[in-house]
Amino acid sequence: MNTVISGLSSMATRPLLAELSERIRLVHGLPVRFEAAGGVDIARRVREGAEADLLVLADGALSALEEEGHLLAGTARPLWISQVVAAVPAGSPVPVLDSDSDLRAALRSAEKVAYSTGPSGTALLDLIGRLGLADVLAGRLVQAPPGVPVGSLLTCGQADLAFQQHSELMDLPGVTIAGPLPGHTAITSTFSAGVLASAARPGLALRVLDFFGSGTGAEIARARGMRASGDSDGA
Helix (H, G, I), strand (E, B) or coil at 85: strand
Q: Distance between CA 93 and CA 182 in Å, rounded? A: 18
**pLDDT > 60? residue 232:** no
Tell me if 167 sits within 8 A of 222, measured CB to CB.
no
DSSP 52: -
- pLDDT for 8-26, tens place per residue? 999 889 999 999 999 999 9
What does the alpha-carbon distance between residue 76 and residue 70 come to, in Å, rounded to a whole number? 11
- Same fold across 5-81+190-228 and 82-185: yes
- Fold (CATH) for 82-185: D-Maltodextrin-Binding Protein; domain 2 (3.40.190)
Q: What is the pLDDT of residues 39-98, one digit of tens each?
A: 889 999 999 999 999 999 999 999 999 999 999 999 999 999 999 999 999 999 999 999
The yes/no answer on whether domain 5-81+190-228 falls in CATH 3.40.190.10 is yes
Global pTM reads 0.83
Reduced to 3 states, what is the DSSP secondary structure of residue 141? strand
- pLDDT tens, position by position, 190-224: 999 999 999 999 999 999 999 999 999 999 999 99
Amino acid letter, 81: I
Report how far residue 57's alpha carbon sits from residue 64's, in angstroms, rounded to the nearest whole number. Answer: 11
- Give me the residue spans of the domains in the chain: 5-81+190-228, 82-185
As a whole number of angstroms, the distance between CA 160 and CA 155 comes to 9
